[in-house]
Amino acid sequence: MARRGDQPADEPAGESAAGVKSARRAVQLLETFAAEDAWMPLAELHTRTGFPRSSLHGLLRTLLDTGWIEADASGTRFRLGVRALICGTAYLDRDLAIRHATEALEKLRDATGYTAHYARRNLDQIVYLETRESRHSQHLVSRVGRTLPAHATALGKALLAELTEGEVAELLPENLPALTERTITHRDKLLAELADCREIGYATEHEEGTLDVACVAVPIGYRIPATDAMSCSMPAWQATTTEIARVGALLRDAADELGARLRRAGIR
């Protein structure tokens, strides 16, 4: 009987290790493409990843053949292909919470007049899973699949506030990257704001993630700690104290209703 850690008899240890290394490199390469909006030439990919050129050529050829990336007319620059969208959409299609969240976002948009978002925390990032744009949109929408640092968004703050200070300290460094000049860049200052979020029941940000945009967000209580949150984004000039409080109250009601619905449905 094979012991734990032994390789199967028909799979040499070197071959297995090479396969794992190749798979990790393929994932890293796809994530490199996902982080860049423009076409990427081979030289830049080599610099970004540090992969040997021979390995990089083989990975690109495989990803091209399977539709995960595509090449430009010259065949020298690359970007994500349609296969990435197909798999990303499959994730959303299989997430039972999204079906309920869509209806909640539509109601929230109509009640507040603002664009409504639904997002999930992934470590120190938040990922937008669903959006319903305001009927009077001023292009405040964040596209589905977009990721942003949790500390720079109301959605992220609402979810970080679900963690203990120790858990936040393990997740985030002392010095945080800035997206705008208003982004909180010190963890201690963020922790103080998270304490305020817990007290008032919602999180806010004012031009910390995007200039001229303010947001209010609340967690969805169907998991402990909450992994999902919903928010409303508005032009920064409209984010008065009174308006923030109004939207915050509507968000809390919507989140309570959605959380209860998800729990009744047995969704975890």
Predicted local confidence at residue 142, as pLDDT: 63
Q: pLDDT by residue (tens digit) across 225-237?
A: 999 999 999 999 9
Identify which has the larger pLDDT, 151 or 82.
151
Q: pLDDT by residue (tens digit) across 56-78?
A: 999 999 999 999 999 999 999 99
Residue 219 and residue 113: Cα distance in Å, rounded? Answer: 20
| pLDDT of 26 over the 80 cut | yes
Residue 119 and residue 130: Cα distance in Å, rounded? Answer: 7
Average pLDDT over residues 28-41: 89
Q: How many CB atoms lie within 10 A of CB 157?
A: 28
Question: What radius of gyration, in Å, describes the C-alpha atoms of the chain?
Answer: 22
Identify which has the larger pLDDT, 156 or 133.
156
| pLDDT of 149 over the 50 cut | yes
Catalogue all structural domains in the chain, each as residue range(s) with its CATH number: 14-85 (1.10.10.10), 95-264 (3.30.450.40)
Average pLDDT over residues 156-170: 97
